[in-house]
Amino acid sequence: MVEKFDAIVIGAGPSGNAATYTLAKQGLKVLQLERGEYAGAKNVQGGIMYAHELEKIIPDFRDDCPTERHIIEQRIWLLGDDNYIGTNYRSEAYNSDTPNRYTIIRANIDKWFAEKIRAVGGLQICETTVTELIRDPSGKVIGVRTDREGGEIHADVVIMADGVNALLARRSGYQKEAAPENVALAVKEILFIDPELIQQRFGIKDDEGVVIEIMGKVTKGMVGTAFLYTNKESLTIGIGCLVSDFKKGDCPPYKMLEDLKNHPVIKPLIEGAEMKEYCAHLIPEGGFKAIPQLYGDGWMVVGDAAHFNNAAHREGSNLAMASGRMAAETVIELKAAGKDFSAGNLAGYKAKLDESFIIKDLKKYRELPGIMHSNKQFFGAYPDEITQAAHNWFTVDSVDKRTKEKAIMKSFVKRRSVFGLVGDAIKLVRAMR
Partner 1 sequence: MNMMVKIEEKLYQNRYIVDENRPHITIKDEAHCAACTSKACTVCCPAGCYSTNEAGGVTLATDGCLECGTCRVICQDSGNIEWNYPRGGYGISYKFG
Q: Angle 327-352-100 (CA atoms, 0-180°, nearest 5)?
A: 85
Check residue 35 for interaction with partner 1 (CB under 8 A).
yes
Check residue 220 for interaction with partner 1 (CB under 8 A).
no
Which 137-176 residues touch partner 1, going by CB under 8 A?
146-148, 164-165, 167
The set of residues, in sequence order, having a beta carbon less than 8 Å from that of 192 and lying 6+ positions away, is 233, 234, 273, 274, 275, 276
Which 232-291 residues touch partner 1, going by CB under 8 A?
234, 243, 246-247, 249-255, 258-259, 262, 275-282
Check residue 207 for interaction with partner 1 (CB under 8 A).
no
Query: Quick one: 240 or 298, whose CB is closer to partner 1?
Result: 240
Smallest separation (angstroms) from partner 1 to the CB of 244:
8
8 Å CB contact between 243 and 180: yes
Length of the chain, please?
Answer: 433
Q: Which residue from 45, 219, 310, 388 is in contact with partner 1, where contact means CB under 8 A?
A: 45
8 Å CB contact between 341 and 298: yes
Q: Fill in the per-residue mask, 292 to 331: x = in contact with partner 1 (CB under 8 A), - = not in contact.
A: ----------------------------------------
Q: Which stretch binds partner 1 (CB under 8 A): 180-188, 203-211, 218-226, 406-414?
A: 180-188
Type of residue at 12: A
Q: Which residue from 177, 194, 206, 233 is in contact with partner 1, where contact means CB under 8 A?
A: 177
Which 89-128 residues touch partner 1, going by CB under 8 A?
105-108, 110, 126-128
Question: Residue 389: phi, psi to the nearest 5?
Answer: -60, -45
8 Å CB contact between 227 and 74: no
Closest CA to 326 of 343, 359, 348: 348
Q: Which stretch binds partner 1 (CB under 8 A): 29-37, 206-214, 325-333, 362-370?
A: 29-37
Smallest separation (angstroms) from partner 1 to the CB of 259:
6
Query: Quick one: 120 or 167, whose CB is closer to partner 1?
Result: 167
d(CA 346, CA 292): 15
> Which residues of this protein are in contact with partner 1, per CB under 8 A?
35-38, 40-45, 105-108, 110, 126-129, 146-148, 164-165, 167, 177-180, 183, 185, 187, 189-190, 234, 243, 246-247, 249-255, 258-259, 262, 275-282
